[in-house]
Structure 1
Amino acid sequence: MSHLPQIRIPATYMRGGTSKGVFFRLQDLPEAAQVPGPARDALLLRVIGSPDPYGKQIDGMGGATSSTSKTVILSKSSRPDHDVDYLFGQVSIDTAFVDWSGNCGNLSAAVGSFAISAGLIDPDRLPRDGMARVRVWQANIGKTIIAHVPMTDGAVQETGDFELDGVTFPAAEVQLEFLDPADEGDGEGGGSMFPTGNLVDHLEVPGVGTLEATMINAGIPTVFVNAAAIGYTGTELQDAINGDADALRMFETIRAYGALRMGLIKDVAEAATRQHTPKVAFVAPPADYVSSSGKAVTAGDIDLCVRALSMGKLHHAMMGTAAVAIGTAAAIPGTLVNLAAGGGERTAVRFGHPSGTLRVGAEALQVNGDWTVTKAIMSRSARVLMEGWVRVPGDALL
């Protein structure tokens, strides 16, 4: 029996924020995978090493967590006032599924750097030294991101002293502006930042009860509930949640019924085919705790505690898009996030997550009774881990 040889595809393995992913230029993909569809999904699944019933992704580039099972496709943008189009694919670990329904805010920090290094940006727009302003069109959600990428001697500056909780080593700071981040996704959420029309809803969740919930479309669709209402303190680390099968089922049920209430799905069963969105998170007032690295976080260091789940597991730090949702909700008086932070008006919030703390700013205003947000801002870092070619069996696209 004959077997097709492996094919090799130019690729770069990058860390962006607290995530890692495999980056491709669209033009470098096999022709069948240059357009959306089964061939593209099959290729990316094989690159990452999914589906893997063992949950380890040993035969691929994935790292067996939602933070490390990611892919990015970039191309020069045909849109006015944009440099590059950015498409993100969240690859399921144990099922044959690539979720294209949302963005990855962490990997957004690496998009500008990759685009510059990969020759996708007009050289005339790049300073030899200083800060490059890369205008990114986030194709999954139809939004603009501005990445401020440091340059030295005509190349991306990756090393530096910026420290990001959840990342072991310091690197150069990359500031991200998420412009008009509300009402993202496929437009099924009712066309507003708060798809139900309320800052706080009573969400009926079978087997759990009726929970107060803030459901917001900003950065990424997110369902926020109070930690105390579901038996938590908001200071939990990963093991307290991810090792508890009953807890994970509870959170998935909350997520599914939240998605239904937000109009993202038409039937609860559809939640299984939309794993990346919405996110579910729980909030609590500031409290002392010890982070996963052993670093002490004191109540005085933060405005509130937040824990969020991604792809069915508690995240080790915080998803970048969820941080945008947190910052936006915190800026709007009356949301559960705002109330956990002490209420009132604010333009920035520092929250505690399992790996430490993170600050995010948001500019929100009320117009004719409706809340809008013009931008959310946060700092991340990024660097190339490996570049060259990724290899997959020749039948990966068949």
Structure 2
Amino acid sequence: MQFPRNSQFSFRHYLSVMHLIRTKLHRPRVLEDIVCRGRLHTLMDRGLETTLTLVSAPAGYGKSVLVSHWADSVVDPVAWISLDESDSDLTQFLDYLAAAVDEALPGACPALKDLAGAGHLPPIEHLAGRLINDLDGLDRRLVLCLDDFHRIPPTSTVHELLSLLLEHPPRQLHLVLIGRRDPPLPIWMLRAASMVNEVRMQDLRFLEEEVAELLTKTTSTAVDAEVIRQLHDEVEGWAAGLRLAFLAMRRTQDTERLLTQLRGGIQQAQDYLLHEVLSQQPVQSRQCLLRASIFRRFCPALIKAVCAPELPAEASTGGGETVGSLPGSELFTIGLDAHGEWFRFHQLFQQLLRAELVATSTQGEIADLHRACQRLARRPESRFRVHRARARGKR
């Protein structure tokens, strides 16, 4: 189906009969009690001079809220798509892309509209070329935000399309990808050319003064500076964890008891982590995460030593890629060095993992894990000490 140029009625009628969910084109609502985090807005603004901004962090770190709030201050038009697994189909992805661009810049990108209405798509190289030329022809910059990008599986041709787009980026496009893990795109190439802006978990973690401001806005409870410091240290700046802690504070006057509970993982945080993180992992990944929880810090060799039976073949080849290749490894892990060799788990996530390990393992199984670590530490070629925490299993 070909749409006449500047024919808004024809294209919008097409979108309506395609039964696209228009709410997927709306940015997440920003709550009144949001903390305006100027340092992150400055970081996002800096990215406008690059091709891509990658906002990548585990669940609950406020990625979508940050980008949505920042978008309110951007003078350029912003197109938004909240993705789900069904958008891995290239035809559907193009339908939503055309709708999002039309929402931000009515009448723009006629070739994209033609592609969205086509019954049969051309080869991916031709498709990418037409899309690139169409976006490059815009008379002003467009910010395109793709939220929940981790929900597009690695095998989807959407990644191939965006890879070609990033290899030959339109001058008038700034792409923002928001997700829980890095996408399979040529980000290394953009890094080498200083054309990617990255917002990571360490950036999104709330600073102590931001914790204080958020607490003031979300609860009327009077809390002294020492409690705020302890909250910051225990939750480690995790936005969802802070809100859960504040919710618990509304229900109790005993903040000291709450902080004690927090060290053991408050129930709301445990429920969130169980649902959003652990329960969604494949069985092998879950078992490997549980085993790795005995370490205070870990590296590829340690992961391989305790998880080799659970690792997929491509992730158990050794080397620095092991931790990164481990399914679920991007979940609440914190890098400890500039070389990407040593990591540790977020405290609350590690507490949950250890509790699950104890609940689902015998004392003998846990003892076997510790013995494996001891054998690794005694090897002549071992260049590091094994730091682990004791856990007791069920009898």
Higher helix proportion, which one? 2
Which TM-score applies when normalising by structure 1? 0.30
Question: Quick check: which one's strand share is greater?
Answer: 1
Scaled by the length of structure 2, what TM-score is found? 0.30
Larger radius of gyration: 2
